Structure 1
Amino acid sequence: MMNKISFVISSAIVLSFLMVGPSTAQEVKKGFRSSENEGWMVNVEEAYQLSEKTNKPILANFTGSDWCGWCKKLKAEVFNKPEFKEWAEENVVLLELDYPRRTSLPEAQQKQNAELQQAFRVTGFPTIWMFDLDRPDGKKFQIQAYGKTGYAAGGPNKYTQNLDKMLELKEKSVN
């Protein structure tokens, strides 16, 4: 698994998927249910726009919020903690990509999440990816991935240490 991540990072493989951007802020929000988690966006277009504005990478949480035990554990032990929220506010744009079983998401959100799951080859939950997006042709996103992780014990400080290593890879790729 680590070899795959190293390969993606070292060879700067860029994944692409088609997603035509909306033209107005109202259209961006249309068809998406908000995250129940404070500070997390659910629309990749909004996350991309904020990422561009702030020059922060996106941290995407692929989760099964209402059925995945490890996802619930990660949320309780890391994402809900003030230390993580403070770290995230300073370093990343948070994007929640949910795959619930007991509730349904709007069709546009389901489609977006399915496309991202396929683009990142996510097969298990939780999967956390850190990446930047670019849209050189104005239509297709290109993804520059810096790494992925899942649930890891140790609380928010230990978890963010791993994420800091991904941020270092981003810095190295820029220089």
Structure 2
Amino acid sequence: MKKIFLIIFFLTGVFAMQSQELKWYTDVKEAITESNKVHKPMLMFFTGSDWCGWCIRLQNEVLKTPEFTKWAAENVVLVELDYPRRTPQTPEIKNQNSELQQAFGVQGFPTIYFTSAEAKDGKVNFKGLGQTGYVAGGPTAWLAVANGIVAQKSVN
């Protein structure tokens, strides 16, 4: 009986943790579709996940916290645009990320753009709301900046 209880307890914990994980899109077209469907802007995270110290710090101090998880689920569609040095990527993802880095003029990492987009006649038009990067002070400080940017969506 004790074993059954422990198994049920363990499985409940696993499902609870899975339900709190955020979906990070890597395909921008899928993210645009979702963004338009749920009427939320995209948070586009330009990162060097396996070499950029500030990117890793932003992940650990903000993006992997319960505060960010709750905020993101309510406010944005998440898009990770990674530029790794050691982690393999498909040619399609590499090309997509390179084109977006050029389109947004990203020169340093981490850079986060908040944007909405629509596809017309086979072309994507982005409407930028603002950008940020690493903000010292943990999730509270970072979310204060992000809230200021996302609030512009309802003003524009």
The answer, yes or no, to whether TM exceeds 0.5 is yes
2:17 aligned residue:
none
In the alignment, does 2:38 pair up with 1:75? no
Stretches of 4+ aligned residues off by more than 6 angstroms: none
Match of 1:95 in 2: 79
Greater per-residue helix proportion:
2
* Matched residues, number: 136
- From the CA coordinates, give the structure whose radius of gyration is larger: 2
CA contact (8 A) 2:22 2:69 kept: no
Structure 1-normalised TM-score? 0.76
Specify every segment of 5 or more residues in structure 2 that has no aligned partner in the other structure, as ranges.
Answer: 1-20
Matched, 1:154 2:154: no
* 3-state SS of paired residue (2:95): helix
Tell me by how many angstroms 1:168 deviates.
Answer: 1.5
Q: TM-score, normalising length from structure 2? A: 0.85
Unaligned 5+ runs, structure 1: 1-36
**Shift of residue 87, structure 1, vs aligned partner:** 0.1
Of 79, 96, 116, which aligns to 1:112?
Answer: 96
Higher relative contact order (CA 8 A, sep 6+): 1
Equivalent AA in structure 2 for residue 125 of structure 1: F
Instruction: Indicate the percent of aligned positions where both proteins have the same amino acid.
Output: 48
Letter in 1 for 2:130: G
Deviation per residue, 1:99-123 (Å, 9 max, x gap): 0001221000000000100000000
In the aligned structure 1, how far is the partner of 2:38 from the partner of 2:89? Answer: 28
Q: Residues 135-150 of structure 1: matches in 2 within 5 Å?
A: 135-137=119-121, 139-150=122-133
Partner Cα distance (2:37, 2:150) in 1: 17
Offset of residue 136 of structure 1: 2.6
